[in-house]
Structure formats: structure tokens, C-alpha cells
Chains A and B, each alone.
Chain A
């Protein structure tokens, strides 16, 4: 059984149908990419998954448990962490407070200091700036903080929304390297990206979304050579 199973998911914004019945699955240990143009429904999919918006119909099953009727704060407790689009760190709190808030739902308080140290090892820049107000960090550092915050909940799966958005090419490479590291440490990753080339390079499988529907799916290594994908998303 797949870790995450999404079946015929429909989501509406008022009268507008954003998702018109999408189905996909994520297995444990995989890196899965959702790629597609603006307005394809990538972020909507993630927000429905993490309970920020509610589905019209369809089902989302996480290890067999239905998520569409579960409130957002319960979903985090079940082991799904969300790195929202555009960082969305807590601007007026310190780096350390941001990380502590990531662990808010955890019951094992005694392990939190050790995990904060682990995050500092993974992102040394955050350790240097731990008492700094998060809003004063650079874009790349904020993205690292958002990722670190998500990892603080010790998730089974991390859902990332456009982690490379608005970053310099060098930082984009760093961020993708971090995603690979996260995967190596045993955490499943569901990635939404516009940077299709980079995303496909580190993914096992991928789904291509177009106006609320999945139009293509398969192994990332196959998709990267697919003519239509090349044309539409890779700019070749």
C-alpha cells in the first residue's frame, strides 16, 4: 500500500474548479514531483493535502487514514510537514523560536533540543543566526529556515511548495541538494516545482498537471526525455 493515496480529488474555489479529479500516489522513501505551469493546481493540491482548504469530493489517504475531513493541526501531528510557498516564516520571531514552533505538535519534548542541534548541523547558517529576528534573514536563509521548521516536526513526509522560487541559481542548487539529503535521511518528499529540470533530476517519479488534471505521469528519468514535457516545461 502506498503511503499517500489521492483518489479522484476535486477542489473548487467558489464556482471555479481548480482540481478536476486528480489521482496519484506516493510510496515511502520516494521523491515525487508535481510539475506544471501557473494555475495548473499544484499548490491547491498541496493545500488540500495539508488541510488548509477543503476538498469538494474525492479522498486523500495517508497510511490508510482519510485526511479530507481532518483539521490542519491534526494532519501535522500525523506526520505530514508543509513547507509553504514563498517561505512564510514567522517574520517577527527569532530563528530559534521559528524552529521551536515547528516542533509544536510533538509529544516527545525531551528530544527537541537534540533535533534543533541536528537542524543547525544541516543548516550552519541558521546556527549563526539563531537569535536573529527571522524577517532579517536573506531569501535563501528564510527558505532553509522554512525547511528546518518543517523537519522539526519529525515528519514521515515533507510537502514542499516551490522551494526554489525567487532564489539565485547557486542557492537553487543548494536547496535541491538539501532535498536529496532529506530523502537520504529516510523522509519521503512530495515536491511542487516550476523548475521542472531540477525537480525531475532528483525525483523518482513525477506527475504533470495541466488546468486541474494530471496529463502525464511516469518515471522522472523518462519524463525528462519526453518530447511534450521538453517542449512545454524544459524550454528545449
Chain B
């Protein structure tokens, strides 16, 4: 009886729907478990501090996977878009912290603004850059990411009774009145961002990101984007507007990265632009590659594992990076080598069969 019910269920859902719902369920279960553990006081303060960054990195990995896995183009500008989102949302929150008292209105607005402005940057950069392919695209996006970071690191911004003051030179050039409010202090970054980010908001954002990503991949647009990835000439010959779909994907990636940036900046009181350097972009690319290019669930898992791993290994401090890099190499071999793949899948099949037999015995 039980078996029939299960098979009816699998027929009822399309395979892709099932795939996405398993991922949503995983995120919800992980959230509930962490929530219970932290309310019971079972997790360390270090791990509590990592909860929001975990959500941020997962969102970044999922969004980059849309460009790298679905569109098939290598982009290394993720940190730059994140920087745009982080800064613009933080500026918005600081400016409106007195006028909009309610966090539940102000923070979603800040996230949305961070995302939209990052998407605008994505489109502006995408128009010239997406004509390039492969390595060239990677290099140019890397450069744009660095430019964005450096411009924000040189920016001074404040406001007083006379209005808004902007300078790219120095604090004294800003001519701010003594009672004026300084928002951006050049290389020292933003300070005074309200700490609005919580684990709940992070988890909800991650869930929304996953819903957007899955619906994008399985939509008509997603199919068109994958067609472009598979064969540009064929895609053009069936009448796809290549530039349009590339830009849409790039902008969506930038939008989600901007939202993640907003979540990130509202987790700290102060934030420097130097945090958004190319190492961060490459770190996110590592999550995507290790999670499996094109696998959205894999991106989330890889992001979580690779963020937690160095922290978990803190106790064996001097060997920490050694073990971390060994894990990276082993995961790379497992995910890229055909032989290891078939070996693993054969063994998991055996394991599953064993498990099933036991279940049948139990039922009997």
C-alpha cells in the first residue's frame, strides 16, 4: 500500500518540481534545526556569527551558478556586484533609519534597492562585456569588479543642512558642516549601518533566491539561455535574441548578488570596500565549481561546507589550510573524474538496495 502511494506521488510532480522542492525542504529543515539548537544554547557563538554569512554565501553561489552553469559564461565580477548592493543598501538604511522606524519595511526596501542598483550595474557592464567569450569575459568582469571596489573605497559621502556632499579626494574636500552626518569615509568604509540582518531574514532570502533560480531555469527564458550555452549558432538560427537573454541572466545574477551584499552589509556595524576583492569572487566560483556547475542545490551545499570547514578546523590551527586544500582537491577529483563518479554511483545504488531490503523486512 505504502509503495503505491509513493509512486503516485512521484508521478504527480514533474521531476524538476520534485528537485526544487527537495532543495527548499533542505533549507527549511536546516533553518529549523539551527534555530532549535541556538535557542537551546547548543551552538557556539562563533557558529551563531556565521549563520548570516552562510546565507549570504549560499545566495552568491546560487546566483553565480546562473551565469556560470546555465548561461555557461565565466564571470569573476560577483564581488563587485555584491559591493554595489552592500553600499547602496547601507547608505539607504543609514539615511532612512530615522524616517522609517519599522525594520520590517526598511530592511526589505534596502535589500531591494541594493539588488536593483546592482542589476543596473550588471546591465551597464554586461552590454559591452557580454560580447566577449570565455577567458576574456572572465578577465574583464574581474577588472570591473576591482574598479567598483576601488571607486567605493575612494568615495566620501555625507549630508548636512545644505544637502548631500560627495568627494573622491579626501574627507576635508567634502566641506561637511560640523553637525553633518558622514556616511562613507573613503577606505574606512561605511559605519553606522543598522544591524538588521538576522538568520530568519537570511534564510527567507535564500529560499526566495532558490525559488527565483529554479523558476528561471525551468522557464521558457531558462530554456533559451541553456540553448545559447549549448550552441550559439543554433540558438541564433532558431531565432533567439542572444544579447537579450545573456543580459537578462547577467542582470539577474547581479541582482541576487546585490541582495546578498545588502544582507552582508547589514550584518556589520562597519564595512570596508576592501572586503569585496577578487579573492571573494574566486571563492564564490569555487563554491559553484565544487557544488557542480549547473547544480543549484550543489551550490548551496558547497557554500555551506566550505564556509564552515575552516571554522570547524580552527582547533588544529596550523594544519587548517592544509586540510582545507586537501578537501578541495579531493572534492574536485570526485566531481570531475568519470571513474570515481561511476564508482560512487554504483556504491550508492548498492547501499540504497541494501537499505530498501531492510525496509521491506521491517514491513514484513
Interface residues of A, Cβ cutoff 8 Å to B: 50-52, 71-77, 81-84, 88-93, 97, 100-102, 104-105, 146, 149-150, 153
Contacts and interface: CB of A to CB of B under 8 A. Distances in A.
B223 interface: yes
Would you list the 9 A-B pairs with minimal beta carbon distance, nearest first? Answer: A76-B239, A82-B237, A88-B234, A105-B239, A90-B230, A73-B241, A73-B239, A72-B236, A90-B227
A91 B227 CA distance: 9
B39 interface: no
Interface in B230-251: 230-231, 233-242
16 contacts: A50-B237, A52-B237, A72-B236, A73-B236, A73-B239, A73-B240, A73-B242, A76-B237, A84-B234, A84-B237, A92-B226, A92-B229, A102-B238, A104-B238, A105-B238, A153-B238
B148 interface: no
B61 interface: no
A84 B233 contact: yes
Nearest to A109: B220
Contact of A153 (B224, B236, B239, B242): B239
A57 B200 CA distance: 62
B239 A72 contact: yes
Interface string B13-26: 00000000000000
B60 to A, nearest CB: 25
Contacts of A51: 236
Contacts of B235: 90, 101
Nearest to A89: B234
A89 B235 CA distance: 9
Nearest to B229: A92
A149 B238 contact: yes
Contacts of A92: 226, 229-230
Contacts, number: 71
Contacts of A153: 238-239
A88 B235 CA distance: 9
Contacts of A50: 237
B231 A101 contact: no
B273 to A, nearest CB: 38
B292 to A, nearest CB: 14
Interface residues of B, number: 18
Contact of A88 (B223, B229, B237, B242): B237
Given A76-B239, A104-B239, A153-B238, A88 B224 contact: no
Given A101-B223, A104-B224, A76 B238 contact: yes
Contacts of B223: 93, 97, 100-101
A88 B233 contact: yes
Nearest to A76: B239
B232 to A, nearest CB: 9
A91 B231 CA distance: 8
A88 B236 CA distance: 11
A97 to B, nearest CB: 6
Nearest to B230: A90
A50 B235 CA distance: 12
Contacts of B220: 104
Given A72-B239, A88-B234, A90-B231, 11 more contacts: A52-B236, A71-B241, A82-B238, A89-B231, A91-B230, A92-B230, A101-B224, A102-B238, A104-B224, A153-B238, A153-B239
A50 B241 CA distance: 13
Contacts of A104: 220, 224, 238-240
A205 B220 CA distance: 40
Interface string B154-190: 0000000000000000000000000000000000000
Contacts of A72: 236-237, 239
Interface in B203-236: 220, 223-224, 226-227, 229-231, 233-236
A72 B235 CA distance: 10
